[in-house]
Structure 1
Amino acid sequence: MKKIGAGFIFLLVMCAALSTTAFAKQPYSSYWFPEQLLQWSPASDPDAAFNRSTVPLQDRFVADGVNAHATKAPKVMALSALNPGTSGVPSQGSSKFEANTFTYWQYVDKLVYWGGSAGEGIIVPPSADTIDAAHKNGVPIIGTVFFPPTVYGGKYEWVKQMLQQNSDGSFPAADKLIQVASHYGFDGWFINQETEGGTPADAQQMKVFLSYLESHKSNSMHIVWYDSMTNEGSISWQNALNDKNAMFLQDNKKQITDNMFLNFWWKDLKSSAEKARSLGRSPYDLYAGIDVEAKGYDTKVNWNLLFPDKDPAVTSLGIYRPDWAFNSAESMEDFFVRENKFWVGPNGNPSNTSSDQAWKGIANDVIESSPINELPFTTNFNTGSGQKYFVRGKQVRDKSWNNRSLQDILPSWRWIADSKGTPLSPVLDWSDAYYGGSSLKVSGVLNPNNATHLKLYKTDLKIEASTKLSITYKTQNKPSLKVGLAFADQPDQNIFLNVKDKTSPDWTTETLNLTPYKGKRIVALSLYFDSKNEVNNYNIQIGQLSIQNANDPIKPLPAVRDLKVTQTDFRNGIYGDARLQWKQLDQQVKQYEIYRVLPDGSEMFIGATPNHVFYVPEMRRIDKETITVLKVVAVNGRYEQGQSSSVKISWPDYPKPTAEFKTDRTLVAPGESVNFTDLSTEVTEGWSWTFESGSPAVSTSKNPVVTFAQEGVYSVTLTATNSSGQDTITKKALITVSKEAGAVKNLALGKTATADHACGEKEGAPNAVDGKVTDNSKWCAIGNLPHWLQVDLGAEHQLSAFVIKHAESGGEWSGFNTSDYTIQVSSDGTNWTDVVNVQGNSAAESTDSIALVKARYVKLLILKPTQGADTAARIYEFEVKGL
């Protein structure tokens, strides 16, 4: 999304990290255009069950905060792109460690799942895993309805379709929005109408639409309006609540929407607050927007207009694109550092935000909230992604993963480490874990002068007679550790419970009895580290912290019933994926874990979900196995596994290979070498090459390098073999050896180029042949597929290769790289011949060498413009190599 004028435009259209060709059964999060929304139903959508959240919205509380400057009244709304795309978002996480696992929920009161584009869809519900994570933290999460500006592909007919009203007064689109939110389990919609072309009558119809939505939704659902469309129907950002947009918030005594997000360029908020009060609304129903997409915590904000010194906040705060912290980071560690500074300020301490820097962190003005108000409470400090996965200290997966459904409630305060000396350093660490993918690591120099009090959780937990606290840790040193508790009657004082001084390189759990404090309410949990002797390399991992009543009726979970495979898909005989389904247990289940039983009898963790359906990502066949066993086991709130159920998947017959190869070039001078790359299917076990007039003339290497000494035109043959059979491919007249090969150049440079569409005047076809690869020199096309780019070379030439520089070459996201394309050549511009057909490209730059062919015209046909469903083509340069 980029800003234009005073508004904001979501152009960062999102796409899949995983190809739908390779993962035919992968369920993806939903997105629609209006016509698709009107036709949608859970029964007809095969992915609907995977896109549901099963985690109810938790209650949470505010109470007093740790920052004396922060207040309770203002709220925070974050508009965040939690996934890198609108389309192609896996419903239940993926095999990538690098994911926007947002963790500062304690400072957010509403989160808008930002998405939508003219190329994919404009109605975007949150993905199921983001709903689960938000709800665990007590944060309502809402979807986006985005009508983009015309310059970015917006069509006013989409607005009209949404506003269609039946004779009985109902709005079919509004009813569908309510149905989607109810079925998927999220909490409302953010309406952003920025498509030009409206009239005063349209504005009135929009008000009626919003009023219908507001009056027919459940009480727990939130409808938010963005300051863009005015009462005249035009798009004019007011940066305030005034007479031009007030009717979209309140109409006399009738509430139209719950909140309004004010555009970013406000210079006075008091008039908006006064206008809200005159309408009978709270000024905190208004969210004054700040745009941090480009600069994050380096964004200049006139904070005093919103949070004046010694006076109450004027309105609430709206933050547009705090996902900057993830998008700008170089690593996950860097992401967590940036996010910490963004939310709690440069000191990295929410209780001390005093700084000479302009950005003091959101914690400077907003009190943290907490959902930890009932037992049991257990955290494994799991961020929702990892490079491995552990179950009770045992590593059960050695591959990366992310799934925000599995994210724990993370520390309320990151970080308050009080010490009279240099405090120990706490971090969330992915190198080791007790349960999940991460743990709390505390390290540094520990000595008698720097005892460290690490405050972690804001709570409201009543201690019963049977309440116990357990802590699981691992250290090469003595733990030198106490657990701190603060109680409601004396919140500024702590009592500390000793953890036995036992050195343990393995995970050790110690249980502490809280019976002496029966009837008290715990308002804070902390850890205290001290030592009588200096420890230079003190290092401890905290794997789990848990408080629960020992006599709570949590029984071991039985095996799930009716476990079955509802779909399977096999690729090339050695890759397979599956969809699983089972009957949910009546008992309290934290999550269901899915394992693959390997041929040697060991088990590998595949994933987990609180849902009763699961997609098993593409598995590679092991040692020509014929059967793969999958197991599902339920886990309770104490992270105790129940009994397992299993189901079998039968593999097809082991296939013979399909032979294929490519070359780095096909036109060479005498004595030059050609690199051959095998592209045969993975089941290939042996290769037999024959090179006409080549040296060597034959080879059994997988990727041979061959020299051709004499001028001429030569053929190449490859036979791929395995135990099931063989396949042979011959490419005749493939290699041309000529003394003229040194004259090969880019024949398309500066030539006449035309195309089917352009995204704008400055993104036309000539940009693809200007020799420049910069942000402002590309051909971009939107509209119906296929897109095409045609180049007139001016005369016939001998062509040998094509180079395409896709979106990533110009600095854009790799998900925008062209996936499927065809290249055609012609001598007359009328009759065309295919010379290149590519499916599944993901590279930033692709080179396709061909047997020498004579042509004047070249056409690039783009069949699948991105890695996902976005239909916009982005080509920074198209080179035609030849003589």
Structure 2
Amino acid sequence: MVKVKHFIVMGFLAFFLVGFQSQALASQPESSYWYPEGLLDWSPENDPDAAFNRSTIPLATRDVHYSTNETQQDDARLVALSALNPNTSGVPSQGDREFFANTFSYWQYVDLMVYWAGSAGEGIITPPSGDVIDASHKNGVSILGNVFFPPKVYGGKDEWVDQMLAQEEDGSFPAADKLLEVAEYYGFDGWFINQETEGGTHETAQKMQDFLVYLQENKPEDMEIMWYDSMIKDGSIKWQNYLTDQNTMFFQEGNETVSDSMFLNFWWWNASQKSSYDKALELGRNPYDLYAGIDVEANGTETYVEWDNLFPNGEAPYASLGIYRPDWAFKSTDTMQDFYNREHEFWVGEAKDPSNTSENPDNWKGMAHYFNEKTAIDTLPFVTHFTTGSGEFFSIDGTVKSDKSWNNRSLQDILPTWRWITESDGESLAVDFDWEDAFYGGSSLKIFGELSKKNATHVKLYKTNLPVDKDTELSITYKTPSKKSNLKVGLSFHDAPDDFTFLDVKKKSNGKWATDEIKLKKFKGKSIAAISLYAESDAVIEDYQLNIGELKVTNKESKKDKPEKPSNFVIDDLSFKDGIYADIRLRWDANENQNGTYEIYRNLGKGKKEFLGSTPNNVFYVSQLKRDGKEDTGTIEIVWVNENHERSKKGTEASFDWPDYPAPTAGFSVSKTIAAPGEGITFFNQSSEVTESVQWTFEGASPSVSEEENPVVTYENEGTYSVKLVASNSEGEDVLVKDQYITISEDAKNITNVALNKQATASGQCAATESPAYALDGIVTGNSKWCAIGSASWMIVDLGEAYQLSEFVLKHAEAGGEPAAFNTRMYTIEVSNDLDEWVEVTKVTDNTQAVSSHSIPLTQARYVRLSIQQPTQGGDQATRMYEFEVYGF
């Protein structure tokens, strides 16, 4: 069937529609975020995303066992307040298709992680995303959600504080009960309470204390509630920076614990934390329940810290350490390698050797200088593929099964404890992660450099506490182009953790992945304290490189527990886009008897499979699954992988029917709708993806017809001309005609941005320095933007007189240096000559770009109205428009 669509332009009253096709899809599950009323209304039963946000990995036990250098200590602890996702809203529950993600990996130095998120424009109560909980728990680190009452200058409201502190007649706090319910259901370990909204009174402070005590009385014993040093006993916001009589009521009241810990504000450079230490003892509390904060968000390793005020020379620390925004290492870089290099320096120091932190600069010796590495590797099996939690591909058993980028921190392995301790009598080999080769996942470990007898290198990797039985064995999967492995595996034991026994890796690689198994029976009864690698060669190998794809310590007996086939696999929700893309929510019964993960595949027939993802959860979301040709049925398969990394022999399948294969939908845009005679104009085919051929007809142009995707044409004579596009495939064709669409005029040479520095009014603004005038000043740097809160914001530009308009250019949040998640998603542009009658000329429903351009047929108007329907890609309600340009003459 042929469809013909006409767009007609009559004088200056033009009607023109530019935009993106709407998507009605099974929505992407997202991590939760709420305002107080939303929290109170939440339940797992009414939240379709709830199951996707649960952690299935229990909190591992861990211990220090022994120190790496002489300055490390056990008393003080470390909490990190880290923005592990770039924004509060729009966070995918199980990762997404971006390789560059904040795959934080220095868990060995962190005792407590706070999931830093929340804003007045998105939501102020944020549990950690499920993948972050999984990674944290795998490494034995407790993780807290965040309750953030913002300062009023950042949108804080008294009503949010009042709603959270509302108390029933029976003495209960419904919001506190919900916080406990959320933490228990999602599987994380408590809450960080940050009250910075001004205007409180003594009564507010008392209510807050009652709220905290109620949490203590009703929470599980191992749940942590951390308070931020902000509000004082009269209800005002006055950061104390120490534990004082002004803030103790939120920490300890007589014999009653009010909060399990307190994060002390950053400004303690003038005096030591000895007073906080003494005050805690006076209250009968452990001084190390206090975390003295440092703010590294802006300067990272260049942050000035009076370390002696916390860690006095030759004495026990006065308090624990709190680090605000160590995600600086991620935010200040734009490649994974740079991120890991910067994070390495942050946590280990400039010398990048945790055993020798004294060589680091005095002001930043790294956290390894002060804190022991803790390990959660204390039970068998232990398996690692050195997967960092993201990749540019996904390999399974050494074969790339997906070439799509991904991140999912649920899949992050326990990574090496020491980064890096390399011992050599000569020049030691280098060690790093390799994101270009992997045995499983998206990365491996690589050892590289010039190898010789003199440069033989001992690489210490893991601190462990693994029992050895008669059937315990170690296996290593590696790859090297060298003729020999030139490799030994080192083991030390807890009776002498510095003494290593080296075991030969005998199986040859020949440039392919090879697995060698080493029986450990002769060490029966011992406990492995460390695992290392040792590379040596009698002959010089100038460009030696060895990749380790898997390191595994298992008990042979445990291999008898064969992985079970998943059961009750169903497609929960399914929707289609354009007849060739499917978004699918999957669910199956969790395996309660074994730990492990599920791999999800798409079966293509004839034994071919496409890897879609992996999760330890029993739900999974498949995004934009593309139809295989014109297939009628799609089949999804899940396979169980147990903790020994063995797969079930058979998977479980579920199938769905695709809709009828669609005929195309014609669509196109143009580089400009007005041009001078002889000036080239480029047309862009934007027909639906199923289009197999196109045919253009250009009235008055040269060429007048074309079958190219994006033809360039010229017009010799002034006038107004129509354009026709026919899009065809085997199922039919669609015809789109835009009448009076192209204007050819000598006046085209006079087109400029006629909105520059013109007057504008708006529905509102976030601050005096974020009025609509800042979107018309020609500047996108220095935070020069119009900001407004709400999903129905608008601005009207008065051009001063009527102009012939041809194009609009919008520069969104990303153009100004903010995250792409804040780019405006839905908006309309209208024009008028009298502020009474408005004509819509542009409508956009799914923008993701930093800069969007919209050409329209030549239209006369004095006023332009930009209306925002969805200000960001997610739930953030703040419009951020860095520049709104209107072109005409």
TM score, norm. by length of structure 2: 0.96
2:351, 2:360 within 8 Å by CA — same for their partners in 1?
Answer: no
CA distance in structure 1 between the partners assigned to 2:874 and 2:25 by the alignment? 12
Matches of 2:413 and 2:725 in 1, distance apart?
A: 53
Amino acid at match of 1:690: T
Percent of residue pairs identical:
54
SS at match of 1:287: strand
- Give a deviation string over 1:176-208, Cα, whole Å, max 9, x none: 000000000000001111112211101110110
Confirm or deny that 1:702 pairs with 2:709.
Answer: yes
- 1:627-654 Cα offsets, whole Å, 9 max, x none, are 1111100001111100211111211001
RCO comparison, higher one (Cα < 8 Å, 6+)? 2
What is the distance in 1 between the residues matched to 2:224 and 2:681?
A: 63
Residue 29 of structure 1 corresponds to 31
Deviation at 1:23, TM superposition (A): 5.2
Secondary structure, counterpart of 1:43 in structure 2? helix
1:445 lines up with 2:450 in the alignment: yes
- Correspondent of 2:497 among 491, 497, 505: 491
Q: State how far apart, in whole Å, the 1-side matches of 2:710 and 2:507 are.
A: 59
Does 1:108 pair with 2:113?
Answer: no
Correspondence for 1:576: 582
Structure 1 residues 704-758: Cα deviation after superposition (integer angstroms, max 9, x where no partner): 1111111111121212111111112222221111111111111111211111111
The offset of 1:423, in angstroms, is: 0.5
What corresponds to 1:690 in structure 2? 697
Structure-1 residue corresponding to 2:763? 756
Q: Which residue is 1:38 aligned to? A: 40
- Partners of 1:101 and 1:629 lie apart in 2 by 32
- 1:55-74 alignment runs, 5 A limit: 55-74=57-76
Q: State the number of aligned residues.
A: 865
Aligned to 1:173: 175
Question: What's 1:527 paired with?
Answer: 533
Distance 1:719 1:152 in 2: 52
- d(CA) in 2 for partners of 1:433, 1:79: 31
Tell me by how many angstroms 1:680 deviates: 1.4
Which of 656, 660, 664 does residue 657 from structure 1 map onto? 664
Deviations 1:184-239 (A, max 9, x none): 00000011111122111011101100110111110111101111111111112111
State the Cα distance separating 1:20 from its structure 2 match.
10
- What secondary structure sits across from 1:484 in the alignment? strand
1:380 to partner: Cα distance? 1.1
Name the amino acid aligned to 2:604: L
Q: Tell me the alpha carbon deviations over residues 549-585 of structure 1, each in whole angstroms, 9 at most, x when there is no partner.
A: 1112642223211111011010010110111111122
Whether 1:307 aligns to 2:311 is yes
- How far 1:504 moved relative to its partner? 2.7
Query: Can you list the C-alpha shifts for 1:321-340, whole angstroms capped at 9, x where unaligned?
Result: 11111111131011111111
Deviation, structure 1 residue 830: 2.0
Conserved? CA contact 1:25–1:568, under 8 Å: no
**Among candidates 608, 617, 621, match of residue 623 of structure 2:** 617
DSSP-derived class of the 2:108 partner: helix
CA shift, 1:587, in A, is 3.0
2:76 is paired with a residue whose SS is: coil
State how far apart, in whole Å, the 2-side matches of 1:827 and 1:370 are: 70
Residue 437 of structure 1: CA displacement?
Answer: 1.5
Give 3-state SS (helix, strand or coil) of 1:641's partner. Answer: coil
What does 1:278-297 align with in structure 2 at a 5 Å threshold? Answer: 278-297=282-301
Structure 1 residue runs of 5 or longer lacking an equivalent are 1-17
Q: Indicate the SS of the match to 1:435.
A: coil
Q: Secondary structure at the match of 2:433?
A: strand
Q: 3-state SS of the aligned residue for 1:159?
A: helix
Q: 1:472 aligns with which of 467, 477, 488?
A: 477
- CA–CA distance in structure 1, aligned partners of residues 630 and 817 of structure 2: 42
1:775 aligns with 2:777: no
Report how far residue 272 of structure 1 moved. Answer: 1.4
Change (3 A) 1:501 1:589: closer
Which residue does the alignment assign to 2:686? 679
The 1:255/1:554 distance shift into structure 2, 3 A limit, reads farther
- The TM-score normalised by the length of structure 1 is 0.96
For the residues of structure 1 that align with 2:371 and 2:418, how far apart are their CA atoms?
Answer: 13
Residue 359 of structure 2: SS of its match in structure 1? coil
Listed as ranges, the matches of 1:798-813 within 5 Å are 798-813=804-819
Partner of residue 340 from structure 1, selected from 341, 344, 347: 344
Equivalent residue for 1:793? 799
Structure 2 distance, partners of 1:686, 1:450, is: 62
1:26 counterpart letter in structure 2: Q
Alignment of 1:451-600 (within 5 A): 451-477=456-482, 478-500=484-506, 502-552=508-558, 554-599=560-605
State the Cα distance separating 1:600 from its structure 2 match. 5.1
Deviation for aligned residue 1:492: 2.0
Letter in 1 for 2:293: G
Cα distance change on mapping 1:507 and 1:572 into 2, 3 Å:
same
SS in 1 for 2:470: coil
- Rounded to whole Å, the distance in 1 between the matches of 2:537 and 2:783 is 60
Query: For the residues of structure 2 that align with 1:800 and 1:370, how far apart are their CA atoms?
Result: 63
Q: What residue number does 1:732 align with?
A: 739
Is the alpha carbon distance of 1:19 and 1:61 closer, same or farther for their aligned partners in structure 2, counting shifts above 3 Å?
Answer: farther
Q: What's 1:318 paired with?
A: 322
SS of 1:631 mapped into structure 2: strand
Between the aligned partners of 1:504 and 1:689, the Cα distance in structure 2 is: 56
The equivalent position to 2:677 in structure 1, one of 649, 661, 670, is 670
Partner of residue 718 from structure 2, selected from 692, 704, 711: 711
Separation (CA, whole Å) in 2 of partners of 1:24 and 1:751: 43
Candidates 184, 193, 196, aligned match of 2:195: 193
CA displacement, residues 32-73 of structure 1 (integer Å, 9 cap, x when unaligned): 111011000001111111111110000000122102111011
Residue among 838, 842, 846 paired with 2:848: 842
**Preserved contact between residue 599 and residue 625 of structure 1 (Cα < 8 Å):** no
In 1, the alpha carbon distance for the partners of 2:309 and 2:78 equals: 16
| Cα contact 1:581–1:613 (8 A) shared by 2 | yes
Quote how far apart the aligned CAs of 1:599 are: 4.7
Q: Distance in 2 between matches of 1:501 and 1:163?
A: 65
Q: Given the superposition, is the C-alpha separation of residues 600 and 831 from structure 1 closer, same or farther in structure 2, using an over 3 Å criterion?
A: farther
- Aligned position for 1:10: none
Cα deviation for residue 702 of structure 1 reads: 1.6
Once the 2 structures are TM-superposed, how far is the Cα of residue 24 of structure 1 from its aligned partner? 3.6
Once residues 464 and 98 of structure 1 are traced to their aligned partners in structure 2, the CA distance between those partners, rounded to angstroms, is: 41
Q: Structure 2: how far apart are the matches of 1:43 and 1:22? A: 23
Could you say what secondary structure the match of 1:611 adopts? coil
Q: Matches of residues 91-170 of structure 1 in structure 2 within 5 Å? A: 91-170=93-172
Shift, 1:433, TM fit: 1.5
Q: Which residue of structure 2 lines up, in the alignment, with residue 351 of structure 1?
A: 355
Alpha carbons 2:26, 2:585 under 8 Å: kept:
no
* 1:458 shift after superposition: 0.6
- For the residue of structure 1 that corresponds to 2:511, the secondary structure is strand
Deviation at 1:371? 0.2
Q: 1:344 to 1:28 in 2, by over 3 A?
A: same
Greater mean deviation of Cα atoms: 694-703 or 57-66: 694-703
Find out whether 1:414 has 2:416 as its counterpart. Answer: no
- Secondary structure of the residue that 2:842 maps to in structure 1? strand
Local SS of the residue matching 1:857:
strand
Deviations 1:245-292 (A, max 9, x none): 111111111000111111111133111111111111111111111111
> 1:398 corresponds to which residue?
403
1:658-692 deviations in whole A, cap 9, x for unaligned?
11111111111111121111121111111122212
CA contact (8 A) 1:345 1:353 kept: yes
Q: CA deviation at 1:355?
A: 2.8
Q: What is residue 17 of structure 2 aligned with on the other side?
A: none
| Equivalent AA in structure 1 for residue 645 of structure 2 | Y
**Mapped partners of 1:438, 1:454: distance in 2:** 18
The two structures, once aligned, show a CA RMSD in angstroms of 1.5
Distance change in 2, residues 1:491/1:869 (3 Å)? same
Which 10-residue stretch deviates more, 583-592 or 533-542?
A: 583-592
Listed one character per residue, the Cα deviations across residues 750-776 of structure 1 (whole Å, up to 9, x for unaligned) are 211111111111111111111222123
- What is the letter of the counterpart of residue 755 of structure 2? A
Q: Say whether the 8 Å CA contact 2:476–2:551 is kept in structure 1.
A: yes
Q: Which amino acid aligns with 1:227?
A: D
Q: CA deviation at 1:534?
A: 1.4
